[in-house]
Amino acid sequence: MTVMVTLIQYVLSIISGILVGFSLGLIGGGGSILAVPLFLYFVGLDTIPDAAHIAIGTTALAVGLNAYINSYMHLRKKNVAPRVGGIFAGVGLVGSLIGAYLGHITPGTDLLTYFAIAMIVLGIYMAIRKESTQAGTADEVNHVVNAFKKCPGLTTSTAIKVAIFGFIVGLVSGYFGIGGGFLIVPSLMFSAGLCITRAIGTSLLSVGTFGVASGAEYWFYGDVLILIALLYVAGGVAGGYAGTSLAVKVPKRTLRIAYGAIIVLVGIYMLMKIYHIIP
């Protein structure tokens, strides 16, 4: 499918990437969910044919590439559980491909409606969730380092739990074209017993795998704008650096409540646009 994109829309794509990367660096999981509404209503591509599927396919690829780039720093800091991450991402890959196919065959209006509802639910969840009391503390850092040194064995029961959660989260991520970090992190903590810091580092492997796989499938169907995706990634790298720098200076609880409220409002805005309540 040939889509005409103006120069100003390319520039707005870079700005959108900066905003998404900034939110990811600032609050972590859940930041990428703004990519689709930015694509549609900020870049202004909501009027193109099959905008819903193109938005989800394009942003899925961008989010996946951005996650792989960000995972490099976590790998350098040895903040990743490779075997757990491999099982979660490997099994979840199957789920993400199935999810992407289901998303592709879902009518565009319905898909965006479900997406908007998911945004509202996520926003409420982010606003009311509680952080681990050890998150970001010296105790947690020591726990991560010691766990890496010991390299504990992965039991069969744990591997099965990780695989089940991986498939379910991959399915949801592929369907909506989102990274799914907000689902992956708690899933890794529950199924494999990882602390939050190591779960975040490990989750990026899955976010990257699910995003790239879903984006590739949408690309196969002709529903990806490659240049827009790459501009998102370029902006996301810069925005991610700025967001991460600010995150250490602002209380995370305040950030999550504010960001959760923004996501809820954007979800409501999407519903009003979809059903023509507002022009």
**Domain assignment present for 167:** yes
CA geometry: angle at 125 spanning 269 and 86, to 5°? 110
The 3 state secondary structure assigned to the chain is: CCCCCCHHHHHHHHHHHHHHHHHHHHHCCCHHHHHHHHHHHHCCCCCCCCHHHHHHHHHHHHHHHHHHHHHHHHHHCCCCCHHHHHHHHHHHHHHHHHHHHHHHHCCHHHHHHHHHHHHHHHHHHHHHCCCCCCCCCHHHHHHHHHHHHHCCCCCHHHHHHHHHHHHHHHHHHHHHCCCCHHHHHHHHHHHHCCCHHHHHHHHHHHHHHHHHHHHHHHHHCCCCCHHHHHHHHHHHHHHHHHHHHHHCCCCHHHHHHHHHHHHHHHHHHHHHHHCCCCC
* CA 186 to centroid of chain Cα atoms: 14
**Domain assignment present for 252:** yes
User: What Å distances lie between residue 30 and 77, 93, 125, 188, 260, CA to CA?
Assistant: 23, 19, 10, 16, 9
Q: Which pair of tokens denotes residue 90?
A: 């490997």
Q: Nearest Cα to 179, choosing from 60, 71, 85?
A: 60
Average pLDDT over residues 170-184: 88
User: According to the model, what pLDDT value does residue 143 have?
Assistant: 47
Res 28 pLDDT > 70: no
Contact 148, 70 (CB under 8 A): no
Q: Nearest Cα to 67, choosing from 44, 84, 89?
A: 89
Q: Which of 15-29, 30-44, 149-163, 166-180 has the lowest mean pLDDT?
A: 149-163
- pLDDT, tens digit, for every residue of 79-129? 788 889 999 999 999 999 999 999 999 999 999 999 999 999 988 988 887
Res 133 pLDDT > 50: no
In the structure, what pLDDT confidence band is assigned to residue 131 with cuts at 50, 70 and 90?
A: low
Selected residue with higher pLDDT from 57 and 135: 57
**Domain assignment present for 115:** yes
* Separation CA 30–CA 161 (nearest Å): 23
Selected residue with higher pLDDT from 115 and 76: 115
* Separation CA 276–CA 200 (nearest Å): 38
In the structure, what pLDDT confidence band is assigned to residue 141 with cuts at 50, 70 and 90?
A: very low
CA geometry: angle at 116 spanning 123 and 94, to 5°? 95
Average pLDDT over residues 213-227: 95
Count of structural domains, the chain: 1
**Domain assignment present for 260:** yes
Considering just the CA atoms, what is the radius of gyration of the chain in Å? 18
**Domain assignment present for 1:** no
In the structure, what pLDDT confidence band is assigned to residue 248 with cuts at 50, 70 and 90?
A: low
**Domain assignment present for 279:** no
Contact 270, 51 (CB under 8 A): no
Selected residue with higher pLDDT from 210 and 1: 210
Res 140 pLDDT > 50: no
Res 166 pLDDT > 90: yes
Res 214 pLDDT > 60: yes
Res 150 pLDDT > 60: no
Instruction: Give the domain range for residue 230.
Output: 7-274
**Domain assignment present for 104:** yes
Selected residue with higher pLDDT from 112 and 71: 112
Selected residue with higher pLDDT from 101 and 252: 101
**Domain assignment present for 13:** yes
Average pLDDT over residues 49-55: 93
